Structure 1
């Protein structure tokens, strides 16, 4: 059994320049997937059409992206593609998630993200991710 870094933090989903809602976000880092972090959002915040979804009690929405992207975005705007991370005003960090259904902008307390990254680095120090990669398992998952 591998150790895991997991933290549930409060964030804000930005709806407009003057309106946002609080939401719970679970951040997870697993040494067996050493390059990635996961952000899980409650299903009620999905951009999918509610008529298409499974409804009440649905699983969280999980975004998976590079740990390095999250760390870089605390200091400078970072990211290409579906996930962008950048410093916000004060001690805030903004994570922009892009999907065909729309764009979500989520604001975090930077200290929460730094604490999570620190905990992940206790499990796998930056630059040592390659020591935790299991090429055989990854190939089996890809082909299986």
Structure 2
């Protein structure tokens, strides 16, 4: 059995400095995948677009720019609001998403209470599995 921490949120897909469109999204964290966060973007298609990346990256990105390659995250202000920007890149294209900082931070705090930083490996049961394997 594992725990799931979810949050529905409206993000903004930044198309240009003057234009953005709303994108409903679901942030998910599961204790059976303790190092990762999952974001499902519900765009105008039958299936949501899913992204998975390190929880640590999002935690750090709320405070300072971080990330390399496919996922970069950084805090900023937009129209007087504190937001978190996520630049996502894949062979299929690129997207810049803006998320309100307060709800993202509150959701991250919930995930950190469920699995504190540094205890993620305990969730995987690797020690128990290794003990069983060596006992044979």
Give the TM-score category using the shorter length: 0.7 to 0.9
Partners in 1 of 2:34 and 2:52 — Cα distance? 12
Partners in 1 of 2:43 and 2:22 — Cα distance? 14
Correspondent of 1:112 among 95, 103, 107: 103
Correspondent of 1:79 among 67, 90, 94: 67
Once the two structures are superposed, residues 82-117 of structure 1 have per-residue CA deviations (whole angstroms, 9 ceiling, x without a partner) of 111001214111001001122100000001110110
Deviation, 1:43, is 4.0
**Correspondence 1:13 to 2:6:** no
Unaligned runs of 5+ in 2: 130-136
Higher strand share: 2
1:2-81 matches, cutoff 5 A: 2-44=2-44, 56=45, 58-81=46-69
Partners in 2 of 1:101 and 1:17 — Cα distance? 22
Correspondent of 2:86 among 81, 91, 95: 95
Q: Kindly tell me the number of residue pairs found equivalent between the two proteins.
A: 124
Provide the aligned C-alpha RMSD in A.
1.3
User: Aligned residue for 1:128?
Assistant: 119
User: Aligned residue for 2:132?
Assistant: none
Between structure 1 and structure 2, the one with the greater Rg is: 2
Q: Runs ≥4 in structure 1, deviation > 3 angstroms?
A: none
Partners in 2 of 1:92 and 1:69 — Cα distance? 15
Partners in 1 of 2:97 and 2:87 — Cα distance? 6
Partners in 1 of 2:74 and 2:124 — Cα distance? 28
Partners in 2 of 1:59 and 1:21 — Cα distance? 18
